[in-house]
Amino acid sequence: MDELKMHVDRLFSKYKGSSSVDDLKAEILSNLEAKKNDLLSSGMGEEAATKTAKGSITSIDALIDGNRKVRSYPYKIEKLQTILLILIVAWIFSTPFLLLQNFATNALLFLSIGVFGLTLIIKSRRKPGQDTREYDHININSLARRAKLAWIIWTAFMVLCILAITGLNFSSNFWFSRPLIIDGPYQLARLISQYIGPAFTIVIPLILAKLSKLWIKHEVIEDE
Amino acid sequence: MSITGVSSDLIRGHIDTIILRVLYETDNYGYEIIKSIKRNSNGLYELKEPSLYTSLKRLEKGKMVSSYWGDKTQGGRRKYYQITPQGEAAYLKAIEQWHLAKKVIDLLVEGNEDNG
């Protein structure tokens, strides 16, 4: 019995926690035990019966709620392309702010474009299926959850940033009666550009939201 | 698959009905459903475990069957499935549809007249 339990544990090693998963796991194990006992009583040896029972189910990925089967290689490539595209657009948008000496955002975006671009080049050079499985199972529920969480965190982050930046700029007026001097369009633009840097973090939730819908194009419909 | 077995392509669309038929007779659990199906087919068709779970999951989602945990046996707790009234109606309808399809497909592939 223990060998069957280990087999089922291995099948479910990626999935933990939810009660529906535990139910399925217990159900599959009890059915495999019933199968093994049945084979034993029909005269099969212990080892062969265990082996047959184990061989009857070798993957449960398709049975998990929200799981979708995708072709591993094109899915991964498009994931990288999507990230890259959003980063490049963000980078282009950030270039005008270089004039306002807002270098950090631009440099950071440029750096991440380099990293993801390089990864994409390396990945796309490998032939499909050379180093990975042909199919992957991804869970669209957890992808959607992740995107939603990213939006919530980003919103909270932006609220904090706006409060902090506004505080830093205007508090000298409140506490020391030294008003912030904006004596021209350049000063005003510099003031605004302080808010722009943090705002560019919007690429993170944007990317995650986009990635959470990518599977639609790559889904492989199971035959059985 | 052996030549004596049924083509899985031909049977695929009917797995839900085949399982509903087993449950129409009596409540049952996974492995025993597979055994009953093998028995019903005189050993010519054996449902694979992954197909069983996929189909049961689909049936339960569509409220065609419901499930409950049985008492503890020597092996462990078994999950039993029970056909719902909705499932019974769907089963009877599927039989009607099958009769019609059988007639039409016979005419189409063989041109038999004795199915009139």
Confidence of residue A209 (pLDDT cuts 50, 70, 90): very high
Predicted ipTM? Answer: 0.84
Choice among A91-100, A165-174, B89-98 with the minimum mean pLDDT: A165-174
The answer to whether residue B39 neighbours chain A at the CB level (below 8 Å) is no
The answer to whether residue A145 scores a pLDDT higher than 80 is yes
Q: What's the pTM value of the predicted model, to 2 decimals?
A: 0.75
The answer to whether residue B14 neighbours chain A at the CB level (below 8 Å) is no
Nearest to B12 among A32, A63, A224 (CB): A224
The answer to whether residue B115 scores a pLDDT higher than 50 is no
Give me the pLDDT at residue A222, please: 66
Cβ atoms of B21 and B40 within 8 Å: the answer is yes
**Beta strand B65-72 pairing with A67-71:** unpaired
Interatomic CA distance for residues A96 and A107, integer angstroms: 13
Nearest to B31 among A23, A35, A60 (CB): A35
- Residues with Cβ within 8 Å of residue B64, at least 6 apart in sequence: B16, B20, B83, B84, B86, B87, B90
Residue of B nearest to A53 (CA): B49
- Residues with Cβ within 8 Å of residue A64, at least 6 apart in sequence: A15, A21, A24, A137, A139
Give me the pLDDT at residue B1, please: 43
Greater model confidence, A53 or A174: A53
Choice among A40-44, A101-105, A178-182, B55-59 with the minimum mean pLDDT: A178-182
Give me the pLDDT at residue B74, please: 59
- Residues with Cβ within 8 Å of residue B115, at least 6 apart in sequence: B102, B103, B106, B107
Mean pLDDT of chain B: 87
Interatomic CA distance for residues B56 and A116, integer angstroms: 42
